[in-house]
Chain A
Amino acid sequence: MGMVRESQFHVLAVDDSQLDRKMIERLLQKSSCQVTTVDSGSKALEFLGLRESNDPNSLETHQQEVEINLIITDYCMPGMTGYDLLKKVKESAAFRSIPVVIMSSENVPARISRCLEEGAEEFFLKPVKLADVTKLKPHMMKTKLKKEGEKVAEEENATSKPEESLVVEMILPLNQELELEQQEPMLSSNKRKAMEEVISADRSRPKYNDITTSV
């Protein structure tokens, strides 16, 4: 573990779509992260070193293969969903401190809150963008520092963002999102981005007036 370069974060990305795996891998690499991709929740657990014991309700920790600083997973996957994976990670004493981020192509408020309640750090709407990925650094920073010693962690935690002030992504009322989709102007993605910023800054009803396009 001492051999690992301080600045390199290692992310485990889980998605059953080959195309999306390629995308998320590149996004993370572009943000200077080391990436491992797997195509299922069970493979993710295997990679982490979690294996099911005789008791199906508990996962034993076997030799931890690699140090992972963040898990980013698709929600909709056959077999084990991203939510199931999230639960298993958070139930594991060894790995619950690893931040988990959920991605989904569908904006379902109930789904989003369920994931956040279960301990997901962020919920990204697909397609995930570079701007989304840069939000991950603070979360990865937290665990890395924790691992580098309680003392340092305590000092850093005092100055770092408290967990309660999470920015929740894309909590648009469902009908507004549908409205966007039906209009489908070329600017809809930019509108959405602008709305994201409005929501992050101010939780009140997003306004459509001051949308500026930017590329």
Chain B
Amino acid sequence: MNTVVAKLQRQFQDYLVSLYQQGFLDNQFTELRKLQDEGTPDFVAEVVSLFFDDCSKLINSMSRSLERPENVDFKQVDSGVHQLKGSSSSVGARRVKNVCISFKECCDVQNREGCLRCLQQVDYEYKMLKTKLQDLFNLEKQIVQAGGAIPQVNIN
């Protein structure tokens, strides 16, 4: 029983570390995990879920604003990027945040093509992260079901 838990914990740790190493997550995700405890075991999952909902909504509205080349509402796009940058920053979604930085630059110079590319990229990145975190949360669940505790992972 112990070795099952230990193995799962090791898997979890390795997976989480790889997400940092590959740049999907940054230190803010660590800060987020610090806020979770026995009293709030779903905190991270809830925040992350809010984030992905935000992504989906904002990407849809920005896509509509960018749709017609002759009539792009760059103000709306800028507002969407600002919100997306803020929330990705809050949860530690590093790659998403980085795309937002480029996205803002395209928006500032009213580069529609550039904006469309960034939009596509941000869509890809958030969906990728969603999958990765789902796998992470599944590992967590398995650990808990096997009677173990979620390891505190130190990122160097």
Contact = CB atoms under 8 A, between A and B. Distances in A.
Interface stretch (A16-24, A35-43, A148-156): A16-24
B87 A19 contact: yes
A102 to B, nearest CB: 15
B46 A129 contact: no
Contacts of B20: 186
A215 B156 contact: yes
A108 interface: no
Contact of A26 (B23, B43, B82, B155): B43
Contact of B26 (A18, A76, A129, A188): A188
Interface in A24-76: 26-27, 30, 76
B27 to A, nearest CB: 4
B27 A18 contact: no
Nearest to B46: A22
B155 A215 contact: yes
Interface stretch (B5-13, B29-37, B106-114, B120-128): B29-37
A215 B27 contact: yes
Interface string B75-102: 0000000110111011100100010010
A22 B50 contact: yes
B34 A130 contact: yes
B51 interface: yes
Interface of B: 20-21, 23, 26-28, 30-32, 34-35, 37, 40, 43, 46-47, 50-51, 54, 82-83, 85-87, 89-91, 94, 98, 101, 154-156
20 contacts: A17-B83, A17-B87, A19-B50, A19-B91, A20-B90, A23-B35, A26-B40, A30-B34, A105-B82, A105-B86, A126-B89, A127-B28, A130-B31, A181-B101, A187-B27, A189-B27, A189-B28, A215-B27, A215-B154, A215-B155
Given A19-B50, A20-B90, 15 more contacts: A17-B83, A18-B50, A23-B35, A23-B90, A26-B43, A105-B82, A105-B85, A126-B86, A127-B28, A130-B34, A181-B101, A186-B94, A189-B26, A189-B28, A215-B154
